[in-house]
Amino acid sequence: MAISKTLIPTCLFLIAIILLLVPSNYSFSSSSSSDDLLSELTSLRSQSPTGVIHLSDQLLRRIISVKSPRPFTFVIFFDAKQLHSKPELSLPTLKNEFSLLSSSFLTNNPENNKIFFFSIEFQESQASFALFGVNSLPHLRLIPPSAADLKKDSIQMDGSDLARLAESMAEFVEAKTKLTVGPIHRPPMISKKQMALIVAAGLILSPFLVKKILSGGTLLHDKHVWMAGSIFVYFFSVSGAMHNIIRKMPMFMMDREDPGKLVFFYQGSGMQLGAEGFAVGFLYTIVGLLLAFMTHVLVRLKSRTVQRVVMLFALFVSFWAVKKVIQLDNWKTGYGIHAYWPSSWK
Return the axis-axis angle of helices 57-65 and 2-47, rounded to nearest 10°: 140
For residues 51 and 166, give the distance between their C-alpha atoms in angstroms, rounded to a whole number: 15
> How confident is residue 330, by pLDDT bands cut at 50, 70 and 90?
confident
Query: Does the structure show a pLDDT above 80 at 19?
Result: no
- Give the DSSP per-residue string, 144-186: -TT-SSHHHHSEEPPGGGGGGHHHHHHHHHHHHH--------P
Residues shown for the chain: 346
pLDDT: which is higher, 60 or 215: 60
Question: Which of 88-102, 106-120, 237-251 shows the lowest mean pLDDT across its residues?
Answer: 237-251
For residues 166 and 171, give the distance between their C-alpha atoms in angstroms, rounded to a whole number: 9
Query: Does the structure show a pLDDT above 50 at 160?
Result: yes
Q: What are phi and psi of 271, to 5 degrees?
A: -160, 140
Q: Check: CB of residue 269 under 8 Å from CB of residue 335.
A: no
Query: Does the structure show a pLDDT above 60 at 337?
Result: yes
pTM, two decimal places: 0.58
Which pLDDT value is given to residue 66? 85
For residues 9 and 16, give the distance between their C-alpha atoms in angstroms, rounded to a whole number: 11
- Identity (one letter) of the amino acid at 210? V
9-27 mean pLDDT? 40
Q: What are 184-219's pLDDT values in tens digits? A: 888 777 778 888 898 998 888 888 878 777 777 677
Question: Which of 12-26, 97-111, 148-162, 201-215 shows the lowest mean pLDDT across its residues?
Answer: 12-26
Query: Does the structure show a pLDDT above 70 at 73?
Result: yes
- Percentage of residues of the chain with pLDDT beyond 70: 86
- Percentage of residues of the chain with pLDDT beyond 90: 20
Which pLDDT value is given to residue 239? 83
> How confident is residue 244, by pLDDT bands cut at 50, 70 and 90?
confident
- What's 209-252 look like in SS3? HHHHHHHCCCHHHCHHHHHHHHHHHHHHHHCCHHHHHHHCCCCC
316 vs 57, 247, 323, 337, CA distance in Å? 63, 35, 10, 19
Classified as helix, coil or strand, 270 is coil
Which pLDDT value is given to residue 256? 66
232 vs 33, 223, 242, CA distance in Å? 61, 14, 13
231-249 mean pLDDT? 81
Strands 52-54 and 115-121: what pairing? parallel
**Positive/negative CA dihedral, 166, 333, 275, 283:** negative
Q: Check: CB of residue 246 under 8 Å from CB of residue 274.
A: no
Through-space distance between the first and last CA atoms of the chain, rounded to whole angstroms: 110
Summary count for the chain: helices (H), strands (E)? 11, 7
Which DSSP symbol is given to 344? G
Q: What are 4-17's pLDDT values in tens digits? A: 444 444 443 444 34
Distance of CA 215 to the CA centre of its chain: 50
